[in-house]
Structure 1
Amino acid sequence: MNKVIWVLWPSFVAAVIAEFVFFWVINPQQLYFLGEPVEMSSYATYSVGFLLFWLVCAGSSLLTWFMLPQRPQADHHHEPDGRTAPHHGSGLTSAH
């Protein structure tokens, strides 16, 4: 479930921004689709536009998530008895 949120939340925020910018510039009553004027109410146009923006942004976020390299979790290490303990070091070594 956590990975789904990593995809949907950033795409939601990006879709909100895209919606505001697009409809700040474009009047929904002046839109054309396949050469015909869009005959929906402004609210319906905003809703459909937002869902389309969210779909595109979710696709982009999902593609980014798939392209991330698979890394082992570096914040935990295993104790000799098999327990997992938090990692307290920064992982950086200092040059002396």
Structure 2
Amino acid sequence: MLNLIQVLWPSFLVAGVAEIIFFTVISPQELYLLGEPVHFSAIATYSIGFFGFWLVCAASSLTTLFFQQTSAEINGTESD
């Protein structure tokens, strides 16, 4: 449970900051997806953007936790 909190909480905070910065520069009505304009409401675009940023930030935090492990922990050869 502690690892889950260590991943999700910081990634939530950073995703919030990333969304603020991104949507300060780019308007939701100016976004294109695969060459077509996005036809979602502004709130839907903000929500999708937030969850996208949160996913990327959580992946970064999970990668950090993975690389903090020793080789014995990763391979399951650790003796208790």
Structure 2 residue ranges without an equivalent (≥5): 71-80
Deviation at 1:2, TM superposition (A): 1.0
Q: Deviations over 1:52-75 (max 9, x none)?
A: 0000000000000111145xxxxx
Structure 1 residue ranges without an equivalent (≥5): 71-96
Partner of 1:46: 46
Percent pairwise identity: 60
Deviation at 1:8, TM superposition (A): 0.4
TM (norm. structure 2) is 0.85
TM (norm. structure 1) is 0.71
Structure 1 consecutive aligned stretches of length 4 or more whose deviation exceeds 3 Å: none
CA radius of gyration, larger in: 1
Larger helix proportion of the pair: 2
The separation in 2 between residues aligned to 1:67 and 1:9, in whole angstroms, is: 19
Amino acid at match of 1:31: L
2:60 maps to 1:55? no
Amino acid at match of 1:5: I
